[in-house]
A and B are shown apart, each in its own frame.
Chain A
């Protein structure tokens, strides 16, 4: 059987003035998989998605959705995908039911059938009680679910999810993950963007890590995580002057180079196995190096980033900018 990829893009470029928001990204997503695009704010994830969804023009490169050229044939492309954005794109003036009916009707679903499908989807997303309520009374999680439901009304074979769980509480996030897994079980292909390694890890079959408009790594979640170890030992040394000694202890015991923050006397060590933390601690005690705090954590996006790009995600700055923008 002649199977085509759901998404095939080569050398995508988007520039805003002098700023290259997307700078030559290749993506290949097979049918039936969940593909995660991981990166911090401003890395170019949303811009990439918008180009593939015909919402932004493609400045250079090629993109095909199920073999359809996105640039040459935007109308066909739009018939093959559903887009759920970062912020709920549903109509505030309509009820949940009216929203779904509207999007069904706009895509040529007969009125009665649109109503039935809408009712089914509201049930599936636990929104039936809110069906006739105005969206303004909806919680963030409910809006997000309605937004996703609105993308599914014509059952497109490809779904784009732009940061589907950003801003949701942990319980709602878990529900969203289950819903996304359900989509793939139904035969959908999902391309999602996220800032959370954890989320990509839970959901995605394959991940692309994006930084400053470029793809810096691609692989399964396990492959990415082993590049930074399965967990991280974080140490605060009593006196920052001991750093070099401490680093040599780590090298001797684990054969790994620790990541040092000289000003603060902090040291991060990637661990294949959380058990090895004890070896490092004993080694430091024997070398007479004091520590004030210690923790073992799963690697975060920041550490994956640091390992892959040599700089951090700048997440703190983004948070501040977001605050300022509000």
Chain B
């Protein structure tokens, strides 16, 4: 008469014998989610996000339009002024645009999550015995698709404009991969914003205020030695600068430099801080 497994629909019901005893309750519940369960729940949530993306293709506009437009625009506008000609600017700007595109692509996480959390289905997610990180990590996993599109298109546009990475195929792929890792890590900042802000518009506004200084107050577009001292100080601690330098080292020289290590460490620190913060504030919304 145990109820440890879900009874088959055809099973004749004998309600009196279905009454749960404390032993039944202990047998059909577990005290917490195992790591395996958490991973499975996260992947299921990622599946949900990909379904959503497929039904709302406008979610791909930014990661398609921006690499095409920004890469061409910034290169032709700044190329002559900064590097003398467009061709010699490409090794500087392509890694820069990669980082900037990654940043804007992952910025959408916060707005998306905030909009999603306002919907009724999140009430159900909260009432289910699932790991609290799954509804946050699932969309993050699915969002990798968008970062892949953004990074790939940016590199392709660069190649079409005459960029010939000195690091060869290996270096280029490594730079591409680092861009995606960085985007995924920085996305947790915006995820956290999504869980604390009151509305999607608020998330959008705050995200812009974070995105612009992070991407422009870095070495993404110009050499930081041309900037005033105080600005250089910020540029040097900005994780985006480290990512840009690391991607340049990888793509242009094929070198695995210390900056690659710093960039990866910076990403890890961002995730280590903002993932737990996001889960905590998501829980508090209960």
Interface residues of A (CB under 8 A from B): 1-4, 31-32, 53-57, 66-68, 73, 75-76, 78-83, 85, 87-94, 98, 102-103, 105-108, 120, 134, 150, 154-155, 157, 184-187
B13 lies within 8 A of A103 (CB): no
CB closest residue in chain B, given A104: B44
User: How many angstroms between the C-alpha atoms of A107 and B44 in the bound complex?
Assistant: 10
Q: Given A75-B129, A155-B6, does the pair A83, B124 have CB atoms closer than 8 Å?
A: yes
B2 in the interface, Cβ–Cβ < 8 Å?
no
A4 lies within 8 A of B22 (CB): yes
The interface stretch among B25-33, B152-160, B168-176, B270-278 is B25-33
B126 in the interface, Cβ–Cβ < 8 Å?
yes
Q: Which residues of B contact A57 (CB under 8 A)?
A: 286
B30 lies within 8 A of A79 (CB): yes
Q: Given A31-B19, A90-B120, does the pair A107, B128 have CB atoms closer than 8 Å?
A: yes
Give B123 Cβ to nearest chain A Cβ, in Å. 5
Cβ-defined partner of A186 (8 Å) among B13, B40, B128, B134: B13
CB closest residue in chain A, given B3: A157
A-contacting residues, B35-59, CB 8 Å: 37, 40-41, 44-45, 47-48, 51-52, 55-56
Give 10 pairs: A residue, B residue, CB < 8 Å, sorted on A.
Answer: A1-B21, A75-B33, A76-B129, A79-B30, A89-B120, A91-B48, A91-B121, A107-B130, A154-B6, A157-B3
A55 lies within 8 A of B25 (CB): no
Give B206 Cβ to nearest chain A Cβ, in Å. 25
B18 in the interface, Cβ–Cβ < 8 Å?
yes
Give B243 Cβ to nearest chain A Cβ, in Å. 32
Interface core residue of A4, A54, A66, A106 (most chain B CB under 10 Å): A106
B15 in the interface, Cβ–Cβ < 8 Å?
yes
User: How many angstroms between the C-alpha atoms of A80 and B250 in the bound complex?
Assistant: 53
User: How many angstroms between the C-alpha atoms of A92 and B7 in the bound complex?
Assistant: 30
A66 lies within 8 A of B25 (CB): yes
Cβ-defined partner of A93 (8 Å) among B7, B55, B128: B55
B127 in the interface, Cβ–Cβ < 8 Å?
yes
Cβ-defined partner of A90 (8 Å) among B18, B37, B44, B124: B124
User: How many angstroms between the C-alpha atoms of A241 and B13 in the bound complex?
Assistant: 62
A55 lies within 8 A of B51 (CB): no
Q: How large is the interface on B (under 10, 10 to 19, 20 to 34, 35 or more residues)?
A: 35 or more
A4 lies within 8 A of B20 (CB): yes
A88 lies within 8 A of B127 (CB): no
What are the 9 A-B residue pairs with the smallest beta carbon separation, nearest first? Answer: A187-B18, A89-B120, A78-B129, A89-B124, A76-B29, A79-B29, A83-B127, A79-B129, A91-B121
B129 lies within 8 A of A102 (CB): no
Q: Which residues of A contact B15 (CB under 8 A)?
A: 32, 184-187
B9 in the interface, Cβ–Cβ < 8 Å?
yes
Interface core residue of B40, B48, B121, B124 (most chain A CB under 10 Å): B124
Q: Which residues of B contact A91 (CB under 8 A)?
A: 48, 119, 121
CB closest residue in chain B, given A53: B127
Q: Which residues of B contact A73 (CB under 8 A)?
A: 31
Q: Mark B1-18, 1 if CB is under 8 A from A, else 0.
A: 001001101000101001
Give B131 Cβ to nearest chain A Cβ, in Å. 9
User: How many angstroms between the C-alpha atoms of A154 and B7 in the bound complex?
Assistant: 10
Q: Which residues of B contact A134 (CB under 8 A)?
A: 55
B19 lies within 8 A of A106 (CB): no
CB closest residue in chain A, given B34: A108
Q: Which residues of A contact B124 (CB under 8 A)?
A: 83, 85, 89-90, 103, 150
A88 lies within 8 A of B120 (CB): yes
Q: Given A68-B25, A79-B29, does the pair A185, B119 have CB atoms closer than 8 Å?
A: no
A93 lies within 8 A of B56 (CB): yes
User: How many angstroms between the C-alpha atoms of A84 and B201 in the bound complex?
Assistant: 29
Q: Which residues of A contact B286 (CB under 8 A)?
A: 54-57
CB closest residue in chain A, given B44: A105
Cβ-defined partner of B20 (8 Å) among A102, A154, A157: A157
A108 lies within 8 A of B37 (CB): yes
User: How many angstroms between the C-alpha atoms of A184 and B29 in the bound complex?
Assistant: 21
A78 lies within 8 A of B127 (CB): yes
Q: Which residues of A contact B121 (CB under 8 A)?
A: 89-92
A94 lies within 8 A of B48 (CB): yes
CB closest residue in chain B, given A2: B21
User: How many angstroms between the C-alpha atoms of A91 and B52 in the bound complex?
Assistant: 10
User: How many angstroms between the C-alpha atoms of A33 and B124 in the bound complex?
Assistant: 24
User: How many angstroms between the C-alpha atoms of A55 and B285 in the bound complex?
Assistant: 9
Q: Given A31-B19, A90-B121, does the pair A79, B127 have CB atoms closer than 8 Å?
A: no
